[in-house]
Amino acid sequence: MAGRSIRIFLVDGTSSGVRTAELGLSTIKALVVPRASLSAVKARNEVRKTGIYVLVGPDADKPGQRRIYIGETDEIIKRLTTHDKDLDKQFWEQAVIFVSKDENLTKSHVRYLEARLIRLANDAKRATVENGTNPPEQGKLPEADEVEMEEFIVQARLLLGALGYDVFEPIQLSITAGAGQSSGTSPIPPVFRFTGEDFNATCIVDVNAGQFVVKSGSKARKDETPALSQTYKNLRAQLIQSGVLKESTGHSYEFSQDYAFGAPTPAAQVVSGSPVGGRTAWKAEGSNITLADWQDASLPSEGDV
């Protein structure tokens, strides 16, 4: 994928305050508004427009996981003010707003965007989706408009990723055999395995996205050792509840889909149910070369810097 330029502006000069984000040569604009800052943005042009928004906050029932709500409206500030007073939506701490700089978004457009983003969030299983329904999006727009809205979604996801929200991201592997290796090293595909009693998993290292992707069909052990930290017990419970880990034969769970972890150790501990180090647990398929060895060989040596 070609490089993209994203401009993030800290409106009040702080990283935790109101922020805008814009993609180079694009008409889309994002505005991040902390809940406490609603009154500070009421005069901004963006919040008076038709647009799409995502409410984001922690999930009190699943420590370490986010809860989100996706909505659309003709005037964003009015809808956010309503949500601020809604006792059923106390979870949210920030709103991420998307509008068009050229004023081209209509009510039909944002209804389409809302439906598509709800579907993407449900499919990604990275956050608890507060929306009670999953409205259909097909057939609502002319073909040309639908293509434009799909491009809007691509750009919105890029901006969300740059702002630290990956709630809509599916697993997209960009790896080919040998990717990420420096010249002169053996051509070892970045595919790794971790096996043991009641677990057998395959992990692909996506060096471009910075993800460790456990493949669909991998087996994870049901039993957890007493030494497994509460953090990873919670993560396993979340994956079971969301359906990423499903019942399998014997004493194992099975990954129902590819699932991306941000580091190898969470992936290894979810798979084994025990406190293991991911860099040494995962080994290159067909060899005893550890992930640590492969990563070290992929980096330039001191003399090459």
Q: How does pLDDT run across 226-244, given as a tens digit for each residue?
A: 999 998 998 899 899 888 9
Residue 305 resides in a domain: no
Give me the residue label for tokens 């608890």.
128
Model confidence at 80, in pLDDT bands (50, 70, 90)? very high
Which tens digits make up the pLDDT trace of 269-279?
999 999 999 99
Residue 285 lies in a domain: yes
The Cβ of residue 232 has, within 10 Å, a number of other Cβ atoms equal to 20
Which of 162, 183, 212 is at the close of a domain? 162
Q: What pLDDT, on the 0 to 100 scale, is given for residue 102? A: 85
Instruction: Measure the CA–CA gap between 19 and 34, rounded to whole angstroms.
Output: 9
Higher pLDDT, 104 or 246: 246
Tell me, what's the pLDDT at 170?
67
Q: Are residues 126 and 259 in the same domain?
A: no
66 vs 84: CA distance, rounded Å: 18
Query: Quick one: 94 and 147 in the same domain?
Result: yes
Nearest to 58 by CA among 221, 167, 176, 181: 167
Classify residue 180: in a domain, yes or no. Answer: no
CA pseudo-torsion sign 201, 205, 209, 212: positive
Kindly state whether residues 101 and 195 are assigned to the same domain: no
Q: How many domains does the chain have?
A: 2
Q: Which residues pair with 194 in a beta bridge?
A: 201
pLDDT range class, residue 143, cuts 50, 70, 90? confident
**Do both 97 and 24 map to the same domain?**
yes
Model confidence at 44: pLDDT above 90: yes
Q: Are residues 150 and 199 in the same domain?
A: no
Percentage of residues in the chain with pLDDT exceeding 70?
Answer: 89
Dist CA 267 CA 245 (whole Å): 12
Mean pLDDT of the chain: 87
Whether this model's pTM surpasses 0.75: no
Distance CA 82, CA 113 (A): 21
Please check whether residue 184 lies inside any domain of the structure: no
